């Protein structure tokens, strides 16, 4: 089922259980090479999500600001974006251009992500594709300018969101997760993968 909310294209239940497990296995291989870490915000407070990445670039944040970097904090290059994940990009965008970053966010029971725009990429005409796995997350969608009315939807394991067109620069965030709502991750929590064209 595909929903449209403020230009956000929400493919509910795009990934069946087997596809979710396949992506989870691929994510585990990435995380074995590039362990999760907790970045600092430019304001000095650590983010509540833990992050890592795959691709030529990974998204990164510290006191110097938000940016894309070619290596994990360990100094090693990021692992390649798994083929299963690239297939989802191709399926939902039908683009020849491939993403260069797969940011992987892990939300523990108390993690959240404040409303923000994705605007650290060089060219913002390309969509951002988000894949949700594990516990449900309350995803809030706003406007291209700060403030105003917002709408929220619970994203569940296997849901895929395309943020393109009017939604590409729209504010969005995750208010909270619903711990224990999925059994995909043995220790619980929520994984979100976002695919971005960076350069």
| Contacts (Cβ under 8 Å, ≥6 apart) of 112 | 48, 49, 173, 174, 175, 176, 177
- Applying CB under 5 A, does 136 fall inside the site for Fe ion? no
Nearest to 192 by CA among 114, 133, 121, 120: 133
Positions 137 through 176 that interact with ligand SIN (CB under 6 A): 137, 139, 155, 172, 174
In angstroms and rounded to an integer, the radius of gyration of the C-alpha atoms of the chain is: 15
Q: Per the structure block, which two tokens stand in for 71?
A: 């290596």
Cβ proximity to ligand SIN: between 26 and 104 the closer is 104
Helical spans, DSSP H, in the chain = 17-33, 83-93
- Residue 157's binding partner out of Fe ion, ligand SIN, none, with CB under 5 to 8 Å set by partner kind: none
Contact by Cβ (8 Å): 69, 63: no
Cβ proximity to ligand SIN: between 14 and 155 the closer is 155
Half-sphere exposure of 185 (CA within 13 A, CB side): 25
Of the residues 92, 194, 195, 196, which one makes contact with ligand SIN according to CB under 6 A = 194
Of the residues 9, 100, 118, 135, which one makes contact with Fe ion according to CB under 5 A = 118
Number of residues counted as binding ligand SIN (CB under 6 A): 10
- Applying CB under 6 A, does 81 fall inside the site for ligand SIN? no
Residues forming the site for Fe ion (CB under 5 A): 118
Residues forming the site for ligand SIN (CB under 6 A): 105, 113, 130, 137, 139, 155, 172, 174, 192, 194
């Amino acid at each position: 089922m595909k929903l449209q909310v403020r230009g956000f294209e929400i493919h509910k239940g795009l990934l069946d259980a087997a596809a979710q497990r396949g992506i989870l296995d691929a994510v585990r291989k990435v995380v074995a090479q590039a362990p999760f870490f907790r970045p600092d915000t430019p304001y000095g407070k650590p983010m509540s999500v833990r992050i890592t990445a795959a691709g030529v670039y990974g998204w990164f944040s510290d006191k110097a600001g938000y940016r894309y970097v070619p290596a994990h904090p360990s100094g090693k290059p990021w692992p390649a974006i798994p083929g299963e994940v690239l297939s989802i990009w191709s399926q939902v965008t039908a683009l020849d251009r491939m993403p260069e970053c797969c940011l992987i966010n892990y939300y523990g029971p108390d993690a959240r992500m404040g409303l923000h725009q994705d605007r650290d990429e060089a060219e913002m005409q390309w969509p951002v594709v988000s894949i949700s796995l594990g516990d449900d997350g309350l995803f809030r969608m706003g406007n291209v300018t700060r403030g105003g009315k917002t709408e929220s939807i619970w994203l569940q394991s296997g849901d895929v969101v395309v943020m393109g067109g009017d939604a590409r620069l729209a504010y969005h965030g995750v208010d909270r997760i619903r711990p224990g709502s999925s059994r995909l991750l043995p220790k619980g929590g929520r994984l979100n993968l976002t695919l971005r064209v960076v350069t």
